[in-house]
Amino acid sequence: MTDLHTHILPDMDDGAKSVKESLAMLRMEADQGIDNVVLTPHFSHRDTVAGFLEKREKAARKLAEAIIRLPENKQRELPKLFLGAEVEYTDRLFELQDLEKLCYADGKYLLIELPFMAWRGNVFTGLSNFANMTGLTPVIAHVDRYFSIQNNQALSALCDLGFPMQISTDAVLHALPWSRSVRFLKSGKAGLVVTDCHDQKKRQPNLGPAMKRLEKLIGPDAIKRINRQTDEILLG
Ligand SMILES: [Fe+2]
């Protein structure tokens, strides 16, 4: 299993506040059988890509050094780490230079967080322009968090674009079987499940229990489809 959306890198954003916390979160991922974790700190379009990469590199090095200090058997148990970013949407995203450097594991998929306000047509045009002009594919972060803000028309306009969409584990763990999150995953409208974990308690890594519950709700074939799409995003 792979967690495609985490704020585990230390001191990057509102996620892990220390290396100790990062290690504890990685330990939780490992205990749930997660093999791969992508570190996706927030990138604001007001930052420069170069400045962000420098900061991310430093944080990743700090974490790698702490992992190397662990006993060898503990090191081996931890998930394999990959780098990415969660990019804040702007209508003119296509104008930003070097965004391909923030893609999942240097591939062609870029995780994008959309605005938390009612979308107008500009969001859909902006996402299409971005994809057409850069050749990169947006991956829509935690679509479940927009359900209460957007109307049906806006959500179906987003689905019509056909970009991969993530549902948060919290929406799965606390969902009723007929909830929109579960229906999106069952129908294949959304094909990815991620933790978006920020800490060890309130927004913790919980992909293991979420996938167990989901399998009961949507069946093994839909789970296989989710795993296939997850591998595609990570491996390109
Ligand atoms: Fe996030």
Q: Round to whole Å and give the CA distance between 38 and 182.
A: 23
Q: Structure pTM?
A: 0.96
Q: How would residue 121 be classed by pLDDT, with cut points 50, 70 and 90?
A: confident
- Is it the case that residue 81 has pLDDT exceeding 90? yes
Give me the mean pLDDT over the 183-190 stretch.
95
Give me the mean pLDDT over the 100-124 stretch.
95
For residue 145, what is the DSSP state?
Answer: G
Q: Round to whole Å and give the CA distance between 76 and 63.
A: 15
Q: How far is the CA of 6 from the centre of ligand 1 (A)?
A: 6
The per-residue pLDDT for range 187-215, each reduced to its tens digit, is 999 999 999 999 999 999 999 999 999 99
Q: How far is the CA of 185 from the centre of ligand 1 (A)?
A: 19
Q: How far is the CA of 68 from the centre of ligand 1 (A)?
A: 27
Any idea how long the chain is?
A: 236
- Is it the case that residue 236 has pLDDT exceeding 90? no
Q: How far is the CA of 197 from the centre of ligand 1 (A)?
A: 7
Q: How far is the CA of 206 from the centre of ligand 1 (A)?
A: 14
Q: How far is the CA of 95 from the centre of ligand 1 (A)?
A: 23
Q: How far is the CA of 193 from the centre of ligand 1 (A)?
A: 12
* Domains, in order of start, for the chain: 2-235 (3.20.20.140)
pLDDT at 110: 98
Q: What are phi and psi of 52, to 5 degrees?
A: -65, -45
Work out the angle at residue 106's Cα, subtended by the Cα atoms of residues 144 and 80, and round it to the nearest 5 degrees: 75
The per-residue pLDDT for range 20-56, each reduced to its tens digit, is 999 999 999 999 999 999 999 999 988 999 999 999 9
Integer angstrom CA distances of residue 54 from 12, 49, 87, 102, 113: 11, 9, 16, 12, 21
Q: Which residue has the tokens 């959309």?
A: 114
- Count of Cβ atoms closer than 10 Å to residue 157 Cβ: 16
Q: How far is the CA of 24 from the centre of ligand 1 (A)?
A: 18
Report helix angle 207-218 to 220-235, nearest 10: 130
The per-residue pLDDT for range 123-182, each reduced to its tens digit, is 999 999 999 999 999 999 999 999 999 999 999 999 999 999 999 999 999 888 899 999
pLDDT at 73: 96
Q: How would residue 80 be classed by pLDDT, with cut points 50, 70 and 90?
A: very high
DSSP structure string for 83-108: E--EEEP-TTGGGSTTGGGGSGGGSS
Q: How far is the CA of 125 from the centre of ligand 1 (A)?
A: 23
Q: Round to whole Å and give the CA distance between 169 and 175.
A: 10
Q: Round to whole Å and give the CA distance between 191 and 71.
A: 37
